[in-house]
A = this chain, B = another copy of it.
Amino acid sequence: MTTAAHDPPALVGTSLEDVDTPALLLDLDVFERNLEALDAALAASSVRVRPHAKPHKCPDIARRQIARGAVGVCCQKVSEAEAFVRGGVTDILVTNQIVGAPKLKRLARLACAARIGVCVDDADNVEDLERAAAAAQVTIRVLVEVDVGGHRCGVAPGAPVVELAAKVAASPHLRFDGLQAYHGRAQHLRRHEERRAAIRAAVDAIQTTLVLLEARALRAEVVTGAGTGTVEFEAASGVYTEVQPGSYIFMDADYGRNLGPDGEAVRDFQQSLFVLTTVMSRARPGRVVLDAGLKAHSVDSGMPLVADVPGAVYTGASDEHGVVDLRGGGSLALGQKLRLIPGHCDPTVNMYDWLVCVRSGRVEEVWPIAARGAGY
């Protein structure tokens, strides 16, 4: 590798006000409370926890999750899984289809160094996967991905799952492990009842499918899915054996719009992730310009929220600028630093090389986002 990542925007011991901007901040107190909150939320259930690593891409976080009892992590990409294996994680489920001989070869080689699972939704892909596993002389654990309502990847519940599972089970270097039943769309349904109903429908579809699998003596040891928005429902279902929430450690403005059973804001997990930014222009009255734009946070789920300054509204982003309207209140001085709550945590984190971890106004750790850009 010949590109050089940039120096971190702060060193351990730096005071928060001296962190260079834009920087990706983690409030360690809140982060640790979120880890505890997930344990508490799942205490009544027997599900295993395999947090998704795609929001953080940071082995330092994965090791903390595993130290608290997680069985491993989920990844979305082979290169992401490689970064986590290098970071000391020994059990990874790639919750995605891996297509093409070069990627499958890398996946199979990874299974020499860690316990590796992967998802399938296509019979030809199962054959390619078997070929790669045979060549590397490894056994790969395989989950059949079921489309439980997200309508992205995955085969339809019922007979198509059984057919694919049988093909996996008949492949000498693959082990049929169970079902990937993740309902991505349900995570961001605003109303509690909508999310609950979506997962109830998913559970029904899985139960029907499990009966058909058992009739063919195909044992689904694992049924996995769930994200931060719905994990309470999968955990309580009695059908899911593993859950894979990811964003709960960070949260974001979009998750902040989810509502609880009485229409109240959901407060199970709190915002720990921020973009620290500086006011770089105050040339026009009633507004300021920040040094954090489209390259500092992702706007796919809307503009970021301004933390700590009531009345200030982030109204528009260009590549390196963010405009904040102050006509609703608040005041911001030139050079003042403030925190933004990103609209969507996952693609925001993927822009940064470093996570600056802060406690009591001081940088306590600086973690490399080792799998940043590991998209292939």
Contacts and interface: CB of A to CB of B under 8 A. Distances in A.
Given A1-B5, A156-B283, 10 more contacts: A3-B354, A3-B372, A18-B102, A99-B280, A122-B282, A147-B284, A153-B280, A153-B281, A153-B321, A352-B373
Number of copies: 2
A146 to B, nearest CB: 10
Given A5-B1, A278-B100, A155 B376 contact: no
Interface string A1-35: 11111110100000000101111000000000000
A137 B341 CA distance: 40
B373 A353 contact: yes
Interface in A88-147: 96-100, 102-103, 121-122, 124-125, 145, 147
A75 to B, nearest CB: 10
Given A283-B155, A347-B319, A4 B6 contact: no
Contact of A375 (B22, B98, B124): B22
A346 interface: yes
B280 A6 contact: no
Interface in A334-373: 334-335, 344, 346-347, 350-354, 368-370, 372-373
B295 A350 contact: yes
Nearest to A298: B294
